[in-house]
Amino acid sequence: MARKKGAAEHENHERWLVSYADFITLLFAFFVVMFASSNRDKARAQAVSESVRQALESGHLMPKIAAVLGGTVHDKGQGNAMRKGPGGDLKQLLNQQPAEPAPAHELAASMEVLAKELEAEVREGKVKLSLEPRGLVVSLVQAAYFPSGEDRIYPETYPSIEKVAAVIRKLPNQVRIEGHTDSVPIHNSRFRSNWELSAARSIRMLELLAGRFSVPRERLAIAGYADNVPVGPNDTEEGRAKNRRVDLVILTEQGLSKEPVSPSQAADPAASQQRH
């Protein structure tokens, strides 16, 4: 049938719905990714992120996201699909996850506690506290805690070390004990090099924390750096005194990521999640 001359063209007033639907889909994907990022189960978070990417490419967003989170969006409603996972309720699933290392900003509270408990030692220059991306670093000055050229720890310093151990026991974080020396070579009947001295002091500190102050051994590791990580110049006595130290590093997740894993942990992603 011929259209009447001069009749106005019919306008589609619902074209905006297409753009609006695309916007809502992308917004939903954004919140799903944010939800996955807050999930402690990183394997699932990665799976959700990958599903969002694939779904956006294929145009099947809702079924893929629902499959990862458990069930479908229609079995018990969208609310339950978001809340339920393959293992049941999401809250219950998160409660079953092993404790993860406290991040750097959470260690700030522990640093405040130590600063108060070790106020005298910090004021006298026996202890230095610092918060780094790798973790909370408690530096014990060698002159205050070890005789020169030895790995024996002065018994009178045990109360200070016990305060640090008390904070360590309350946290789930791994702890690395790092021995450092100045650049003056050592060679005596006990130690042939600064490497041996720095490692021996780390081991002695580990034995004290684990044996006397009940810090679990599986949370401890030692390292000896000799004179390779100075914090002061080695051409002055003041600088060398700063370099002779043992650092107790309460590791964050970032710091822990650089630690080696056993073959069994590398083969078992679930076990690896406890370290990364």
Is the model's pLDDT at 77 over the cut of 70? Answer: no
Instruction: Using pLDDT thresholds of 50, 70 and 90, give the confidence band for residue 166.
Output: very high
Residues 124 and 234 in one domain: yes
- Residues, the chain: 276
Q: What is the pLDDT of residue 20?
A: 74
Instruction: Using pLDDT thresholds of 50, 70 and 90, give the confidence band for residue 24.
Output: confident
Tell me the residue range of the domain where 31 lies: 16-95
CA–CA separation, 241 and 234 (whole Å): 9
CB-CB contact of 234 with 227 (8 Å): yes
- Global pTM value: 0.59
Residues 154 and 91 in one domain: no
Instruction: Using pLDDT thresholds of 50, 70 and 90, give the confidence band for residue 70.
Output: very low
Q: What is the pLDDT of residue 9?
A: 55
Domain final position from 95, 112, 145: 95
Residues 111 and 223 in one domain: yes
CB-CB contact of 217 with 210 (8 Å): yes
Residues 179 and 229 in one domain: yes
The domain that holds 188 is classified in CATH as 3.30.1330.60
* DSSP 8-state secondary structure symbol assigned to residue 203: H
Q: What is the pLDDT of residue 91?
A: 42
Q: What is the mean pLDDT of residues 106-123?
A: 93
Q: What is the mean pLDDT of residues 136-156?
A: 95
In a domain, 276, yes or no: no
Q: What is the pLDDT of residue 27?
A: 78
Is the model's pLDDT at 233 over the cut of 60? Answer: yes
Domain final position from 45, 67, 95: 95
Q: What is the pLDDT of residue 49?
A: 58
The domain total for the chain is 2
Is the model's pLDDT at 96 over the cut of 70? Answer: no
Q: What tokens appear for 215 in the block?
A: 């810090």
Q: What is the pLDDT of residue 93?
A: 35
Q: What is the pLDDT of residue 83?
A: 37
In a domain, 263, yes or no: no
In a domain, 275, yes or no: no
CA–CA separation, 69 and 83 (whole Å): 8
Domain final position from 44, 63, 95: 95
| Top-confidence residue, 192 or 274 | 192
CA torsion 237-242-245-250 (nearest 10°) is: -170
Is the model's pLDDT at 135 over the cut of 90? Answer: yes
In a domain, 8, yes or no: no
Residues 43 and 88 in one domain: yes
In a domain, 120, yes or no: yes
Q: What is the pLDDT of residues 45-60, one digit of tens each?
A: 565 556 555 555 555 5
In a domain, 91, yes or no: yes
Residues 44 and 173 in one domain: no
Q: What is the pLDDT of residue 31?
A: 74
CA–CA separation, 253 and 174 (whole Å): 9
Is the model's pLDDT at 33 over the cut of 80? Answer: no
Residues 123 and 251 in one domain: yes
Q: What is the mean pLDDT of residues 179-201?
A: 94
Q: What is the pLDDT of residue 220?
A: 97
| Top-confidence residue, 18 or 95 | 18
Q: What is the pLDDT of residue 22?
A: 73
CB-CB contact of 147 with 191 (8 Å): no
In a domain, 270, yes or no: no
Residues 161 and 136 in one domain: yes
Could you give the percent of the chain with pLDDT greater than 70?
60
Residues 65 and 124 in one domain: no
Q: What is the pLDDT of residue 255?
A: 82
Is the model's pLDDT at 86 over the cut of 50? Answer: no
* One-letter identity of residue 47: A
Instruction: Using pLDDT thresholds of 50, 70 and 90, give the confidence band for residue 198.
Output: very high
Residues 179 and 225 in one domain: yes
Residues 42 and 158 in one domain: no
Q: What is the mean pLDDT of residues 145-165?
A: 96
In a domain, 23, yes or no: yes
Q: What is the pLDDT of residue 118?
A: 96
The overall average pLDDT reported for the chain is 76
CB within 8 Å of 222: residues ≥ 6 apart: 176, 177, 178, 179, 199, 202, 203, 205, 206
Residues 194 and 78 in one domain: no
* One-letter identity of residue 250: I
